[in-house]
Structure 1
């Protein structure tokens, strides 16, 4: 399983360029940019469903029955 990096496009604390750089430095990582301004995503934000969809897709990638 690789590394999933989720970042808000307009995060006021950490620029999106930092997330892009981090993803470029980690082989196999996947960067997902969400619409929003918050550094910490909460369930009442419009980007929450997109976050959950990405999380579920990320976790499903490693569902290998052979691993027990």
Structure 2
């Protein structure tokens, strides 16, 4: 039986920590950054854990975990 491929879109957008939490990037950081305050851009740099457990389960399956 062939190996399962991980979903390439999910691979780029999410990562799983050692404890099993799914981390994702914050929105509102892609473009139009010049009118956003520096404090907001600093806060948006950090990854955020995914809170919806049903979505986290789906994403882990897409990543092959």
- Tell me if both proteins adopt one fold, taking TM over 0.5 as the criterion: no
Q: Pick 1 or 2: higher relative contact order, CA cutoff 8 A, min separation 6.
A: 2
Q: TM-score, normalised by structure 1?
A: 0.23
Q: TM-score, normalised by structure 2?
A: 0.23
Structure with max Cα Rg: 2
